[in-house]
Structure 1
Amino acid sequence: MINNTSIPDADLSNAGDDYHILWAIQKSLDLLNFDKHGLKAVLIEGIEAPLSHRIDPSGGKLLGIDLIEYYSSDNFEKANRVIISQLKYSTRNANKNLTFYSLYKGKKAKSSQGSIIHRLANIYKAFRQNYGRDLVQKKIKIKLVSNRNFNPVQLSAIQEIQKELQLIGKKVSF
């Protein structure tokens, strides 16, 4: 007799994996270009090994990188633009809006450790410590890609801040 066991929520986890794979395939198709400034490399779950060893030897600073795109070159040093994406797919909460709090909420109560914003901030900080503020702001774009919408009231607040920054001539980077 065969004892079939199932892993609870495996289908939910697999849906997230499928989302990651499909996103990577979609981005990989953009590699089919002849533009010298076009997409030249796509890496999944991290950055190229030599750079990773230098920036993040312990392996804890770049955990939020699900996919990275290099434009005009196949490595960070020579690329003129780099897009770092963290992908979040939700099966259970697909209709529930993301909020500032849900981005900040960590894995443990009353902590931001391990939260989406914590991981994205660690990525930014790791690159900034190694390359400086100006180069990082010029070259890197960090994105959260999700099948969930963002709270419209909070999104409106972000858009108002962006307008105010533009009015006073400040760069809008979010």
Structure 2
Amino acid sequence: MICGRVGVTTEKRENRKVERELNMEFEQKKYTAEEVIALRRRVEYEDQLLNSRTAIVLTLNGLMAVAAGLSLPEIARIITAVIIIFVDALWIVCSLDAQHYIHDLTARINLSEHTPIDETIRGELKKHWFRIGTTFFTSVVIPALLLVGWVLGLLMSIWCSS
């Protein structure tokens, strides 16, 4: 066990070192106007993809809520809740990963001297601690609230049936 933990710690340190080196490389790179436009298109594509996938997850939540509300046996309701809890938990992890990727691409755009003015303004607005972006709200916060609701519903269902 101890050797395994040491190996993991060493591996994490090496990963952080590589990550720092990559960050230094991309901070030193000067992007041309064409590269900034390509990065901007990629950000818009990834953002749109994240939003459309979030819509699918939210629709699935609605359908599962209807399924749980039907006059089904109690075990079917519990299975429905467990499935959607699993889906929501995985979605939150995946959407956070996508958010980080979009953030990294945006950071690369902001390092350039060819940063579009709307990106500069958006960056200034995000400096406030209470500012939550719409993509983050729809793809992380709402599914997290739904996850909490499903967990509470599952616990209440189990508690009331026993």
TM-score normalised by L of structure 2: 0.27
Higher relative contact order (CA 8 A, sep 6+): 2
Give the number of the structure whose alpha-carbon radius of gyration is greater.
2
TM-score normalized by the length of structure 1: 0.25
The structure whose residues are more often strand, as a share, is 1
